[in-house]
Structure 1
Amino acid sequence: MLVMAACRESSMVYETVDGSKLPLLVFDPADGTPLAAGIVLFHGGGLRSGSADGLVAHCRELGSRGIFAVSAGYRLLGQGAASIDDCVADVRQAVEHFTRLAAARGLKPSCLASGGSSAGAHLALVAALTASGTTPTVPGPGVAAVVALNPAGLDLLAFSPERQRSIEQEVGIATGRAIEYSLIEFVRPGSPLMLIHHGTADEVEPIEHVRRFRDAMVQAGNECTLLEYEQAEHGFHYPGHSGHFEDVIDATARFLLDRSHAGPYGY
């Protein structure tokens, strides 16, 4: 059940590596509400559309529950980004800025998460699972967890070669480099804790790919929870779209708050 307590809303910008200034929409719990956790979210849109406004409803609800929530923009293909690499670089910068804001509010890295929807979830996962240059790495101190809403790109090599080439063209990946952005390839012990929300009828990323990614995470000794929504299609988590918004917010808030209180997720 959604909690409709107020939160304080503000906006600011962060600077990308090329000097562009991009928005950060900030949602602080109302005065007097204990601050327990933080999350920065990145919108979907196939890297060619969308804006930070797309996840305002999610951040507003999380903010009302004592969670410091930020929705961040990033350069889009054809609108400042030459390739997916520019988008990933922006996400890294936004996460760094978010962690500084969170630290100023007294939040430790173990209480922080990144995430997003669709392509935004993919970007957040790439940044969390890899170092600069897509080299696998043990996660750094920035965030401890990722919340992915119908993520894309979990197992790109599971698509046919023709579909892989099409995806490369659609999202600005150089020809033949799909493997460098296929997230299952970067699963290692010590990967961030993850919560994935996904519909069983998702037409962009088949549920089988998501289950395979979850299994790989668990087999590597990581904690990865997959919440499946029966017959839900891509984008099911938005308000009024399919009736799942409240369930997604409830589960995400529990996931973040349980960690901050040393709950069942081990933090």
Structure 2
Amino acid sequence: MPGPCRQIDLNCDFGESYGTYTFGQDEALLAFVTSVNIACGFHAGDPHTIREAAERAVAAGAAIGAHPGLPDRLGFGRREMALAPQDVYDYTLYQIGALEGFVRAAGGRLHHVKPHGALYHMAGRSPELADAFVRAVRAFDPELMLYAQWGSALLAEADRQGLRRAAEIFADRTYRTDGSLTPRSEPNAVHLRAEDALAQTITIITEGHIEIGGARIPMQGDTVCLHGDGPHAAAFAARLHEGLLSANIELRPPHRP
């Protein structure tokens, strides 16, 4: 007999193509995820891509999030930059506003905001940058939800400012013993087998920890991230979707008022 039903959101990054460059497997992923994080034009995306991504997500019924990043297309927003808190506030507010116009035009509304790449990690470590990011989200719409990594300064700041938030865990990334993600510059930073990603995810959801080298690191999540730019992203998403449902875990986005 299956155990009691648990609930989790499965999110993916979305709309990261621009110009003549195509990235990700957006259309295929929509069949399996429950929320999407749409690039807002800084690290990826352009007006045409953003419009198409918003229209697809609204039609599919996925919860839509803004995915603001650093102004660094060459590095796909994954290179850290020297930023003041005011930079983070302005960049974040600007990008949320850009996406929100397309979402409204498509007949939908924003559900959450999740920083991308280097901005995600910088604001996750720095209380000052986390404060600026959360203030920008609240200034735009205090009913939006923040998606941020389990244990990050962003979640702590969201709690302090009274912003609803979802703790994020990763299916296709590996972790270090301090609970941080293995840097992409190091070996074995990404799970190459869907079964490994699924096993890691189910352990975190059902047991509240992750096992690394025999040690159990406490970890919990409200939403699971699957990166959409990997070569096997759609196959991973399909296996995660199937495996989580088989483990009696309900897939749906966190509720927004």
Structure possessing the higher relative contact order (Cα contacts under 8 Å, 6 or more residues apart): 2
| TM-score of the alignment, normalized to the shorter chain, above 0.5 | no
TM-score tier, shorter chain, comes to 0.3 to 0.5
Higher percent of residues as strand: 1
- TM-score when normalising by structure 2: 0.42
